Amino acid sequence: MTVARVTEISSTSTQSFDDAIAQGIARATKTLRNVRSAWIKEQRVEIKNDQVSEYQVNLLVTFVLDD
């Protein structure tokens, strides 16, 4: 039997949503073992001087628990 857990993390980037996602997954896999998937729950941008200054994603990361 496999049991998994889902945890929510937030990641930001000044480059793009894709970069924010990649950075979030890279950081999560440094701490969590057996990461299997991630779901993009929310995306938002911060605006400064009428331009996008930061991209943020909230990820739901699924990882399988050790036996």
What is the per-residue pLDDT for 57?
Answer: 98
Contact 11, 57 (CB under 8 A): yes
Per-residue pLDDT tens over the stretch 28-57: 999 999 999 999 999 999 999 999 999 999
The pTM assigned to this predicted structure is 0.90
66: number of Cβ within 10 Å: 7
What is the per-residue pLDDT for 61?
Answer: 98
Q: Where are the domains of the chain?
A: 4-64
Q: What is the mean pLDDT of residues 57-65?
A: 97
Does domain 4-64 fall under CATH 3.30.70.2970? My reply is no
Q: How far, in Å, CA of 21 to CA of 53, rounded?
A: 16
CA 48 to chain centre: 23
pLDDT tier at 13, thresholds 50, 70, 90: very high
